[in-house]
Amino acid sequence: MTLSSPGNASDLLLSWYDDHARLLPWRAPPRSKEPQDAYRVWLSEVMLQQTVVATVRPYFDHFTTRWPDVVALANADLDEVLAAWAGLGYYARARNLHKCARRVVDEWEGRFPETEEELRTLPGVGAYTAAAIAAIAFDQPAVVVDGNVERVMARLFAIETPLPDAKPELVAAAATLTPQRRPGDYAQAVMDLGATICTPRSPACGVCPLLALCRARRAGAPETLPRKRPKPPKPTRLGVAYLALDASGRVLLRQRPEKGLLGGMLGLPGPEWSEAGPSEAEIAASAPAPAAWREAEGEALHTFTHFHLRLALRVARVAAPKIAPEDRWIPRAQLGAQALPTLMKKALKLGLSALDRDA
């Protein structure tokens, strides 16, 4: 599985990148003589996981203004980091971001390790992120393969194996093109090609620098690759959450367990979610305080990676009882400053609206 001239492919791509590189706040221009800041490369790559560039830009600017280097981030309070991350989703990334910063400071004297092997020992740094940091920040010929690169390789080499089974083939194909010269620029070039030219639908083949080498284009149907196994339908889980509002206008929030979905985040208390839904006994046992609880009209609807959720709300105005160690009363006016996942923002809006209508 090789092209007739893989070196020519990387040269063509680098020449295209010199003229067409995207201007991104975490990126040095092509052929830059200054090494890229590993902190900024790492931060951007973590933020870009499962998230598009347009969404990441303001978060990246905010983080690098507030915490301009890895030492500053390591010294930050985790709750502040989570609050700054709110809205980006996949909150385990934010927790690992903070852990990783502390590890770099404590074990690497504030400097990121330069090899893929060492980078992969850091919290939240997997194969792709390690390769990206090694290539972009340290100009090592690491094989960087994200979703954009997978698409480019599947079309360039006409790899018919469906994803995710095709991943080893796609990595092997990418390895044949990764050059020793300017590997950091090359890694960003092939990602840019996938993001701007070799797009999932209606690829702009006419302006692609690799047009003459692309086997899928010669076959006449590049947009059909990469193939993917049909995804099973997402199941729907049901849940209940409690919204307690005290006489001074404070809302009771609970910190979720460290591990698991939305780990360590603040949210409304309630029983575990399941496809069958919690039983009435489970719902009653999870009430955070004695009160005249009632069901709010409607549900908070949210979609996670692997399932849909329908979350019903039970609301009440309560006296401020003694609370569990994982609970805290938050003034309503301060809810916007909390690190709340999108689901819990939806639930709070629904529940508070129901209580306001009763006032």
The string over 251-269, giving b where at least 16 C-beta atoms fall within 10 Å of a residue's C-beta and e elsewhere, is: bbbbbbeeeebbebbbbbb
83/86 Cα distance (integer angstroms): 5
- The DSSP 8-state label assigned to residue 235 in this structure reads P
Residues 6+ apart with CB under 8 A from 29: 21, 23
- Show the 3-state SS of 4-56: CCHHHHHHHHHHHHHHHCCCCCCCCCCCCCCCCCHHHHHHHHHHHCCCCHHHH
58/164 Cα distance (integer angstroms): 32
CA separation, residue 67 to residues 27, 63, 74, 356 (Å): 18, 6, 9, 38
Active site residue 45: yes
Catalytic residue among 34, 45, 80, 223: 45
Active site residues: 45
